[in-house]
Amino acid sequence: MLVAHATWHGGALCLWAEHDGPRSAAKPGGHPFATRDFTGTSYEPLLRGAARVVLELLLPGTGERPLPSGELGPEPFDGVPVLSPWKVPALVLEPFQAMELLRTAEERADVVPGTDLRFLGVVAADAAALAAAGRVLPALREEDGDLLACWRPVLDPTRFARLAEAMPPACRAVAPGRPAAEVLAEALDGLADTAVRGTVPHPLLPPRTGKTPERVPLAERWLEALTGPSPLVVREPGDDPAELRAELDAWHRAARPAHGPLKLTFRLVEPKAPEPEPGEAGSPESPEPPQVPLSEQPWRVEFLLQGTDDPSLLVPAAQIWSGDTLLEGAEETLLTGLGRALRLFPELSRALDVATPAELVLDTAGAFRFLRTAAPLLAAADFGVLLPTWAGRSRLGLKLRTDEQEGEEQGAATGSGFGLGDLVDFRWELAVGEETLEEDDLAELARLKAPLVRLRGQWVELDEEQLETALEFLRQGGSGTMTAGQAVRAVIHAGERTLPLVAVEAHGALGDLLSGEADRRIAPVPTPAGIEATLRPYQERGLAWLGFMEGLGLGALLADDMGLGKTLTVLAHLVQAGAGASDGTRGGGGPTLAVVPMSLVGNWQREAARFAPKLRLYVHHGAKRRRDAELVRAANGADLVLTTYGTATRDAEQLAKVSWARVVCDEAQALKNSATRQAKAVRSIPARSRIAMTGTPVENHLTELWSIMEFANPGLLGPRQAFRERFAVPIEAEGDERAAAALKRATQPFVLRRLKTDRSIITDLPEKQEMKVYCNLTVEQASLYQATVEDMLEQIAEADAKQRRGLVLATMAKLKQVCDHPALLLKDGSRLQGRSGKLEELERLCAEILESGEKVLVFTQYAEFGSMLQPYLEARLDRPVLWLHGGTTKEQRDELVARFQGEDAPSVFLLSLKAAGTGLTLTAANHVVHFDRWWNPAVEDQATDRAFRIGQTRDVQVRKFVCVGTMEERVDEMIERKKALAESIVGTGEEWLTGLSVAELRDVLRLAPDAVSS
């Protein structure tokens, strides 16, 4: 398998790859599994003629070898990774080849894109979108004495800041000292220039006629180079580019969104129906005045100033010119804003002919142009835009009506016998909002030939192409019969037409499915006989939904929040389908294969034994697992077969020999990358029904949802490339609300998502109380902390860019260890007592919890520290302390969990965050302590959910230890201040800190005077 990586360096895209084959005999300092050989892959045609270079990348490793990327498969490593320089062979792509590769990398299934390549693909999509929207300006750049004509994007500061924060560290591995914003700006400039040159291939100036003068002006040579094959501007004697560059730079600065207390806002005002003249209603003596059709009345675009901090503050331009406002600098802000907007909205020039512009008068066609063209450009440039409520909503679209044919069962109870192969009567209709249109209505609209018309009391935007499509659609006839499955696919893909789908009206089982609320419409299924538990109401609805989906022949995505009992719901579904029958027979048409992470095999075994004891279970795992005919016999003799993702990947062909009733994938985010061998192998196992289970159906990208849905319902959402173009790119890159609504409509029927925090779902889950526990350092800790900081700052001041990042990360790890305990940093086997403020607080807290007869989970990210803590706490508390870490075997893990959950079991459970943060149910504890911080709220919440989940009957108290006056406190404050962006800020651990300057690092890492205990 190849994993492709990319970095932007030297103004170009540099590409290399990792492979999972035999390690090459690398030269000293060479990366042992790096390659630039893409022979035989779909990348090969794009890479012909690419320049070959060797880059020196700063990558994490063990010190002796680099660690593989997550896409290649993480390599177990208990130590702290260190950053070291590795020489990597790479290819330098030409601009157009680079853009094409970035645009299509995720569709090329034979090579897996790394996070760095995927990120640059998002940047390329942004650059292309800016070019398509006209948000680029020409520029002149001087580089090594050469003049270069180029196109520069006009960036939205908020979007740019979010992209910079989200940049994977691997994108800067070749220059780790450079700020992410600097790398991003250079990549966006280069990609936007390429996008424009690919869109505007013709010269901007007509060819000169007659005799060419001896000297062509610099401006003309610059214009020719803007769209020519080379950006190089030929220099001639006497050229002075300073003036041209100054003008272009000023243009770019003026086009950038301005931020201040006030901003210019444009409000579109529609014509109003004329009021009748005063007089007696119905009196023949008061004739009606001649009526001017609304379509011929003027529209107005009003100019206003709006508060950036208080959007409700709206001051009309007329009020500003009259002096009836106390807003400081209002006139200057208004005129400056109108001057900037003129570049994006040239029709404004008519309003600027007067000294005090207050509005622009438009005809209907002009109002339509403002809606479709000017308004989006102005909004993207950070101007305010206020449109009527109907704008963007009341458009022409399709409505689908379906009815089950006579003789079919009505209603949607499971077992009705209705399936996707059954015929339904259908009728396509044309509608505007809630109003259905007939052919006469459309003919009248076509006759008016107006882009905005008043229809049944509301204004409607009409696209001429859509109107002609609608008329042709009606003439061809839009009714007949189709299968229910065809109707489902028609709804999902209807948005691909020129006319969008605006409504669906269906009845019976199909109506319940397409509504996306089948779990609430169909009758809940009570707890089946054979389940040793009482299902909660939402689980009974989930059970009915699973049966309903399987009855229709559809796969299901059970996406309930963590801790809501997805496993029990699926076990109940198996029992309800006939598995584990007391007479030894089995309904459901065969065994069920459950593919789960290794850490959850024991959990599935325990829950099956506890809740569904009559299910016959076979675990297909380990070196002695059965194969061929023996595997088929073992599977057919079981109701439920458990296997791991790794085993399923290796044994896919073996497992495919069994006639599975259904395949269930737990933690189905393991399938999020559709191109991996694991995802392909699991998808290849045939079954009559499929269930995906995950509490996080989308972790990073929408294509992850496509990949999981492709497992559950192959082909339902269409090809991956079409899904990206229709949904992923518009939603992620452009925030397209229509695409988001269409995606929700397309996927909602197949996804059941309930949240633990929703009190309408679960009312008896106790409260979770989170608190920070601030601990002081001992004198020894403070001395070590200060020495570590000073040593790092001294080294950073002298380090080059390649060394800087490794120094920062290593220092962060050391400081976290100091805050835990000096013995963790020194690794000298010295005593623990009396040397750590955190340890003293942990002893006190555990003693208090034990005295009250309660239990506690203590998480640490350092396995070596846990091994020190376990015997120490046992001796100090005089009670057994359990310890679970990465080296714990499955059998030991299950024994520890069972022992802790027992009534007389030990009351302190020490756990490695990485090894025990998921897959365990430890509801015997109602206290959780995070001894050291992962600085990723999602990871910490997952660990906390080991106790805060179904089965917990007491309030859960969560304590997060923070050393006061240290970098722990300041990083925690940063996370709290930026809660909305916490995921993108801390998603890569401490690495976001490596871009800080020495002064900023000193401020974050400094030791405050109140850090040391008195």
Q: Evaluate if residue 411 carries a pLDDT over 90.
A: no
pLDDT band for position 953 (cuts 50, 70, 90): confident
Query: 362 with 347: CB under 8 angstroms?
Result: yes
Range of weakest confidence among 96-105, 676-685, 797-806: 797-806
| Residue ranges per structural domain of the chain | 2-199, 262-272+296-386, 396-515, 519-752, 768-1011
Residue 568 has pLDDT above 60, yes or no: yes
Which range has the worst mean pLDDT, 121-135, 619-633, 756-770?
756-770
DSSP E strands, 43-111: 51-61, 82-92
Q: Tell me, what's the pLDDT at 210?
A: 54
| Both tokens assigned to 597 | 């992470």
Residue 800 has, within 13 A of its CA and on its CB side, a CA count of 5
Poorest-pLDDT segment among 239-253, 516-530, 979-993 = 979-993
Other C-beta atoms closer than 10 Å to the C-beta of 40 total 9
The share of the chain scoring above pLDDT 90, in percent, equals 24
Scanning 370-507, the segments in alpha helix (DSSP H) are 375-380, 439-448, 464-476, 484-493
Q: Which of 532-541, 936-945, 998-1007 has the highest mean pLDDT?
A: 532-541
Strands 2-9 and 12-19: antiparallel
Given a cut of 50, is residue 282 above it in pLDDT?
Answer: no
Task: Give 633's contacts (C-beta < 8 A, 6+ positions apart).
Answer: 626
Mean pLDDT of 87-103: 92
Q: How confident is the model at residue 654 (pLDDT cuts 50, 70, 90)?
A: very high
Q: Which two tokens stand for residue 805?
A: 């990042």
Average pLDDT, the chain: 80
Is it the case that residue 872 has pLDDT exceeding 90? yes
Average pLDDT score over residue span 530-534: 91
pLDDT band at 201 (very low <50, low <70, confident <90, very high): low
Query: What is the predicted pLDDT for the residue at 62?
Result: 83
What's the pLDDT at 812?
82
pLDDT at site 288 = 45
The DSSP H or E segment spanning 385 is strand 384-386
The whole-angstrom distance between residue 59's C-alpha and the CA centroid of its chain comes to 25
Residue 938 or 840, more confident: 840
Give the range among 431-435, 580-584, 626-630, 1005-1009 with minimum mean pLDDT.
580-584
Sequence-ordered list of residues with C-beta below 8 angstroms from that of 545, at least 6 positions apart, any chain: 518, 519, 522, 556, 752
pLDDT of residue 774 exceeding 90, the answer is no
Quote the CATH superfamily of domain 768-1011: P-loop containing nucleotide triphosphate hydrolases (3.40.50.300)
**Percent of the chain surpassing pLDDT 70:** 80
Strand boundaries in 848-982, DSSP class E: 856-860, 881-884, 908-912, 927-930, 956-963
pLDDT of residue 483 exceeding 50, the answer is: yes
Q: Which of 9-23, 354-368, 503-517 has the highest mean pLDDT?
A: 354-368
More confident residue, 763 or 866: 866
Instruction: Return d(Cα 722, Cα 622) in angstroms, integer.
Output: 40
Mean pLDDT for 546-567 is 85
Q: Which residue has the higher pLDDT, 954 or 817?
A: 817
* Identity of the highest mean pLDDT range in 16-20, 231-235, 415-419, 471-475: 16-20
Q: How far is CA 873 from the centre of its chain?
A: 42
The answer to whether 781 and 789 are in contact (CB under 8 A) is no
Which DSSP helix (H) or strand (E) runs through 592? strand 592-596
Instruction: Provide the pLDDT for residue 446.
Output: 66
- The pLDDT tens digits for 965-978 are 888 887 787 666 54
Mean pLDDT of 379-397: 79
pLDDT tier at 982, thresholds 50, 70, 90:
very low
pLDDT band at 1011, cuts 50/70/90?
low
Residue 80: predicted pLDDT = 77
User: What pLDDT band is residue 74 in, cutting at 50, 70 and 90?
Assistant: low
| Identical fold, 519-752 and 768-1011 | yes
Q: Report the CATH number of the 519-752 domain.
A: 3.40.50.10810
**Model confidence pLDDT, tens digit, residues 136-185:** 889 998 887 788 888 999 877 667 767 887 888 889 888 877 888 889 98
Give the range with max mean pLDDT: 120-124, 180-184, 215-219, 602-606. Answer: 120-124
At residue 773 the predicted structure's pLDDT band, cuts being 50, 70 and 90, is confident
Q: Say yes or no to pLDDT of 387 above 80.
A: yes
Q: What is the mean pLDDT of residues 460-465?
A: 70
Average pLDDT over residues 520-549: 88
- The answer on pLDDT for 206 being more than 70 is no
The residue with greater pLDDT, 597 or 444, is 597
pLDDT given for residue 586 in this prediction: 56
pTM reported for the whole predicted model: 0.53
Residue 276 Cα to chain centre, angstroms: 55
Of the listed ranges 246-255, 600-609, 769-778, 901-910, the one predicted with least confidence: 246-255
Give the pLDDT score at 607.
87
Q: What is the pLDDT of residue 285?
A: 46
- What gap in Å lies between CA 777 and CA 775, rounded to an integer? 7
Structure tokens at 860: 């640490």
- Name the DSSP class of 456: T
From 233-242, 360-369, 986-995, the region with the lowest mean pLDDT: 986-995
**Poorest-pLDDT segment among 611-620, 747-756, 877-886:** 747-756
* Alpha carbon distance 162, 171 (integer Å): 15
Contact predicate 664/595, CB 8 Å: yes
User: Which token pair is 498?
Assistant: 């020129």
Question: Has residue 584 got a pLDDT over 70?
Answer: no
- Residue 448 is predicted with a pLDDT of 64
- What's the pLDDT band for 289 if we cut at 50, 70, 90? very low
Least confident segment among 349-358, 622-631, 654-663, 748-757: 748-757
CA distance 472 to 470: 5
Nearest to 916 by CA among 940, 950, 880: 940
User: What is the b/e burial string over 919-951, where b = at least 16 CB atoms within 10 angstroms of the residue's CB?
Assistant: bbbbbbbbbbbbbbbbbbeebbebbbbbbbbbe
Is the per-residue pLDDT at 231 higher than 90? no
* Phi (first) and psi of residue 924, to 5 degrees: -65, -25
Relative to beta strand 384-386, strand 314-316 is unpaired
The pLDDT tens digits for 295-341 are 578 899 999 988 876 677 788 898 888 876 656 678 888 998 998 89
- Residue 124 to residue 171: CA distance in whole angstroms: 14
Q: Please say if the pLDDT value at position 631 is more than 90.
A: yes
pLDDT, tens digit, for every residue of 821-840? 999 988 888 889 989 989 98
- Which band of pLDDT confidence, cut at 50, 70 and 90, is reported for residue 813? confident
CB 183 within 8 A of CB 167: yes
| pLDDT for the residue 66 | 87
Closest CA to 91 of 199, 7, 193: 7
Q: What pLDDT shows up at residue 165?
A: 76
Closest by Cα among 520, 269, 315 to 412: 520
pLDDT of 209 higher than 70: no
Two structure tokens written together for 522 = 């169909």
pLDDT digits (tens, 9 = 90+) for 687-740: 999 999 987 777 667 888 899 999 998 888 888 888 888 888 888 777 777 777
